[in-house]
Amino acid sequence: MSCEEVWREVSNYVDGDVDAALRASMDEHFRTCVRCSSVLAGTRNVVQLYGEERMLELPAGFSRRLEKRLAKNAAVKGRGWSSWSTWLVPVAALALIAGALKLTNTLTFKHPAKSILAEPGHNIPPDMLVVVSAGSKVFHVAGCPFIHDKATERTITAKQAMQDGYVPCSRCLRQYLKTGLTGQADEDDAKAEAEEGQEGVVSTAEH
Amino acid sequence: MSEPSMTLNNPGQTAMREQDLISSVQRGQHELFYELVQPYERRVYAAALAILRNEHDAEDAAQEAMLKAFANIRQFRAEARFSTWLIQITVNEALMRRRRERTVVMEGIDDRRDGEESEYAPRDFADWREIPSEALERKEVRQRLAEALATLDRKYREVFVLRDMEHLNIQETAEALGITVAAVKTRLLRARLMLRDLLAAGWEQGWFSRLPFEKGNKPW
């Protein structure tokens, strides 16, 4: 067997992808050929070193950025994946338009909302991940620009947020608000935003 | 080949945990998705980087691939390896992005310049010994290895990364890149031999000079 023939098969040899006869011939060649032994050893070193997990380095902050983007996406996705919400939202909208307000009254919270202007959410998937922060009464989708005091933000489920008296952000979670469903109440929106801004100032001072 | 970091402790238990996580995410526990993919984020990023050669683009493609995996998690079937499925999505995403860029034209020209039909002959026949994996604890060594890899032409680099760093098998590598098994083997051979020569040359320049090798022995 020539050196050239050995080089052609050395990669398959390292992978164990040669038949018994070829392996025997190559073994015999390696025993007598220093050059091909060197080729074999170097090839093994390449495979071994590059195969180490440590060779796969991540940029600084990669994991944090990925987790954040996934959390944000999961929150948005949660709205679409809950099979009940996909059809219940338009049904609820029709019910509202028809004046059937009793339907929505069944979805209010046990705990009082933190603002008199705040509006409870409707049909929010309970396991949807949302962000709350200290001093604000509103919960948001991750990445919403209206999150107050970002340093204290934490992620919880929508169910927990509502149980704790938080209400949906009128911007990023508008589709879950009665006003969002009916397409009205921009005026209330502005009031709520103004109040939220004031509370943000107060809370900053308190902390 | 082994699954890095997923088989270090108890492979059976880890596989069961992974299957549990997949089932939970498929049922709607979306918050568990990151836990599911976290062991593979290095491999996903490396696959994207091998194809795109730009850290920023690679990170964006890796994130996008994860989001696509999340969006399609219900289509994942247990008979496939989750890691392979994830890498496949990443490779598709990265290839799609690269096709959109004009650089592919330039790389195509480069690739034709040294066609794989011509055989590659090793150039360096220095004495050798096994390099311990502890050598990788030195950042300089990892950097040199990464630099050598970056000098390979695209078609060799992609095959090498998927096969030897992502630990896909030959068939999976061929499917991921849309090439034949024979092409994978040919490119892999060439990539390994070229890297061997590149690193042997590095030895001459003293890369490994602070490694605990015996005097006179060369690792390549």
**Domains in chain A: how many in total?**
2
Span B11-56, pLDDT tens digits: 566 677 888 889 888 888 888 888 999 999 999 999 999 899 889 9
Q: Which CATH number does the domain housing residue B19 bear?
A: 1.10.1740.10
At A118, is the secondary structure helix, strand, or coil? coil
Specify the pLDDT at position A165.
83
For residues A117 and A185, state if they share a domain.
yes
Q: Considering only CB atoms, which chain B residues are within 8 Å of A58?
A: 41-42, 45
The yes-or-no verdict on residue B90 having pLDDT over 90 is yes
- Does one domain contain both A117 and A202? yes
**A45 plus A119 within the same structural domain:** no
Residues A141 and A196 in one domain: yes
Q: B94 and B151: one domain?
A: no
Chain A CA closest to residue B34: A67
- What is the span of the domain harbouring residue A114? 101-206
CA distances from A86 to A80, A101, A102, A160 (A): 6, 20, 20, 22
Please, is B102 exposed, middle or buried when counting C-beta atoms within 10 Å of its C-beta (0-12, 13-18, 19+)?
Answer: exposed
B20 in any annotated domain: yes
Same domain, B174 and B218: yes
Q: How many CB atoms lie within 10 A of CB B98?
A: 17
Cβ contacts below 8 Å, chain A against chain B, sum to 163
Distance of residue B101 Cα from the nearest chain A Cα, in angstroms: 23
Q: Tell me the nearest-neighbour CA distance from A24 into chain B, angstroms.
A: 20
Q: Can you tell me the distance from the alpha carbon of B202 to that of B206, in angstroms, rounded to the nearest whole number? A: 6
Give A 77-96 residues with CB within 8 A of chain B. Answer: 77-78, 81-82
Q: Does B160 touch chain A (CB under 8 A)?
A: yes
Separation CA B159–CA A42 (nearest Å): 19
The neighbouring-strand residues paired with A121 are: A177
Optimal mutation site among A18, A36, A70, interface B, most CBs of chain B within 10 A: A70
The residue out of B102, B136, B164 marking a domain boundary is B102
By the 8 A CB rule, do B52 and B40 touch? no
A residues 89-148 lying closer than 8 A (beta carbon) to B: 127, 129
* Residues A105 and A24 grouped into a single domain: no
* % of residues, chain B, pLDDT over 70: 72
Check CB contact of B126 with chain A, cutoff 8 Å. yes
Q: Which of these three, A18, A36, A55, is where a domain ends?
A: A55
Residue owning tokens 């939970």: B24
Per the structure, the count of domains in chain B is 2
What does the pLDDT average to over B110-130? 62
Domain check: are B77 and B130 in the same one?
no
B196-214: pLDDT as tens digits: 988 876 665 555 544 544 4
Residue B97 domain-assigned (yes or no): yes
Please identify which residue in the block is written with the tokens 């947020």. A161
How far is B184 from chain A, CA to nearest CA, in Å?
11
For residue A63, tell me if it sits in a domain: no
Which residues does chain B have within 8 Å of residue A47's beta carbon, measured at their own beta carbons? 164, 192
Do you know the residue count of chain A?
207
Q: Which range, of A104-108, B40-44, B129-133, B192-196, averages the lowest pLDDT?
A: A104-108
Question: B172 lies in a domain?
Answer: yes
A141-198: pLDDT as tens digits? 877 777 777 777 888 888 888 888 888 887 778 777 765 444 444 444 444 444 444 4
What domain range includes position B141? 125-220
Whether A142 is covered by a domain: the verdict is yes
Nearest to A58 among B45, B128, B199 (CB): B45
pLDDT at A85 over 60: no
The C-alpha of B34 sits at a distance from chain A's nearest C-alpha, in angstroms, of 6
Residue A83 burial (CB count, 10 A): 9
Higher-confidence residue of B131 and B215: namely B131
The band of B163, judged by pLDDT with boundaries at 50, 70 and 90, is very high
Burial of A32 (0-12, 13-18, 19+ CB in 10 A): exposed
Q: What is the pLDDT of residues A43-67, one digit of tens each?
A: 998 998 898 888 888 888 999 999 8
Q: Is the pLDDT of residue A28 over 50?
A: yes
Residue A37 lies in a domain: yes
| Residue A105 predicted with pLDDT over 60 | no
Task: Answer yes or no: do A105 and A191 share one domain.
Answer: yes
Residues B182 and B132 in one domain: yes
